[in-house]
């Protein structure tokens, strides 16, 4: 079983749509959780951290369910510029390696 | 303020050859990690260097080795290249005070093994 698993993609959505990505992790000792965004042939960039209380950044909302070992990302009012690969990331120990999911491709079309 | 710098940007090597990739961390960062990203996959952790020592290692064979210099820059060496080593190699750095939230990635070196 992979340490971090994500929804298979790609997700093809029209502009203005709401889209949700899911992610599960296998190690209950995981401490920190993130969503990264990676544009085609570019490096991953931190999109947002994920907390049990949920956190929102504009059109993006992330949620963590520790009991279910489940992480989600909701994007509202999708823009063409949101087209990218979204990577779910977990850190098992403080300050150490990032464990990435395989990523989910989002394509927003006009 | 320069971010993480990697060189070269692209590289083509033949099976069996050896390759060295280089990384200069962001100013103020002292910890460097290397990741391998195969096509269609997420980045996989290779190893992390801090104070010129390898602190943690992922599931990669001994053909993958590294080094960190006193100025915090780092090298990734891969010996006896295989076709399967073709990937984007990413370097990430962070500073002591930023903890888990401070990773900055370089734009990577795309290695093709033929």
Query: Phi then psi for A88, rounded to 5 degrees?
Result: -85, 130
All residues of chain A having their beta carbon less than 8 Å from the beta carbon of residue B44 are 100
pLDDT in tens, A13-65: 999 999 999 999 998 888 889 999 999 989 999 999 998 888 999 999 999 99
Residues in a beta bridge with B44? B36
**Collapsing DSSP states into helix, strand and coil, what is residue A7?**
coil
Query: Phi then psi for B49, rounded to 5 degrees?
Result: -120, 140
Identify from B34, B42, B44, B60 which residue to disrupt to test chain A contact, counting A C-beta atoms within 10 A and taking the largest count.
B42
Please choose, from the candidates B96, B94, B91, the residue with its C-alpha nearest in 3D space to the C-alpha of residue B106: B91
Beta-strand ranges (E) seen in A10-83 are: 11-14, 19-25, 32-38, 44-49, 55-57, 60-65, 70-75
Q: Are residues B100 and A101, on separate chains, in Cβ contact within 8 Å?
A: no
A100 lies within 8 A of chain B by CB: yes
Q: Cα separation of A30 and A27, whole Å?
A: 6
Q: Are residues B90 and A44, on separate chains, in Cβ contact within 8 Å?
A: yes
Please choose, from the candidates A28, A40, A37, the residue with its C-alpha nearest in 3D space to the C-alpha of residue A90: A28
Q: Are residues A100 and B43, on separate chains, in Cβ contact within 8 Å?
A: yes
Please choose, from the candidates B44, B46, B50, B33, the residue with its C-alpha nearest in 3D space to the C-alpha of residue B105: B33
Identify from A7, A40, A43, A47 which residue to disrupt to test chain B contact, counting B C-beta atoms within 10 A and taking the largest count.
A43
pLDDT in tens, B46-103: 999 999 999 999 999 999 999 999 999 999 999 999 999 999 999 999 887 666 567 8
Which DSSP category does B96 fall into? G
Q: Cα separation of B45 and B35, whole Å?
A: 5
Residue corresponding to tokens 């210099």: B69
A99 lies within 8 A of chain B by CB: yes
pLDDT in tens, A57-88: 999 999 999 999 999 999 999 999 999 999 99
A95 pLDDT more than 60: no
Q: Give the minimum alpha-carbon distance from B12 to chain A in angstroms, rounded to a whole number.
A: 17
Q: Cα separation of A109 and B28, whole Å?
A: 40
All residues of chain B having their beta carbon less than 8 Å from the beta carbon of residue A97 are 33, 45, 48, 56, 58
Q: Give the minimum alpha-carbon distance from B56 to chain A in angstroms, rounded to a whole number.
A: 8
């Amino acid at each position: 079983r992979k340490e971090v698993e994500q929804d298979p993609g790609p997700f093809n959505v029209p502009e203005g749509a709401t889209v949700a990505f899911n992610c599960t992790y296998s190690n209950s000792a995981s401490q920190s959780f993130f969503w990264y965004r990676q544009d085609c042939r570019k490096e991953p960039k931190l999109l947002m951290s994920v907390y049990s209380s949920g956190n929102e950044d504009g059109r993006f909302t992330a949620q963590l369910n520790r009991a279910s070992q489940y992480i989600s990302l909701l994007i509202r009012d999708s823009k063409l510029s949101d087209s990218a690969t979204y990577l779910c990331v977990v850190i098992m120990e403080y300050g150490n390696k990032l464990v990435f999911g395989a990523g989910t491709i989002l394509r927003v079309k006009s | 303020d320069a971010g993480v710098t990697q060189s070269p940007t692209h590289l083509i090597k033949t099976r069996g050859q050896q390759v060295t990739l280089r990384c200069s961390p962001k100013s103020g960062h002292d910890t460097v990690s290397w990741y391998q990203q195969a096509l269609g996959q997420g980045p996989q952790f290779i190893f992390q260097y801090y104070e010129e020592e390898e602190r943690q290692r992922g599931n990669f064979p001994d053909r993958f080795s590294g080094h960190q210099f006193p100025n915090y820059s780092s090298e990734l060496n891969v010996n006896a290249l295989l076709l399967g080593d073709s990937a984007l190699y990413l370097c990430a750095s962070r500073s002591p005070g930023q903890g888990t939230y401070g990773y900055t990635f370089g734009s990577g070196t795309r290695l093709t093994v033929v």
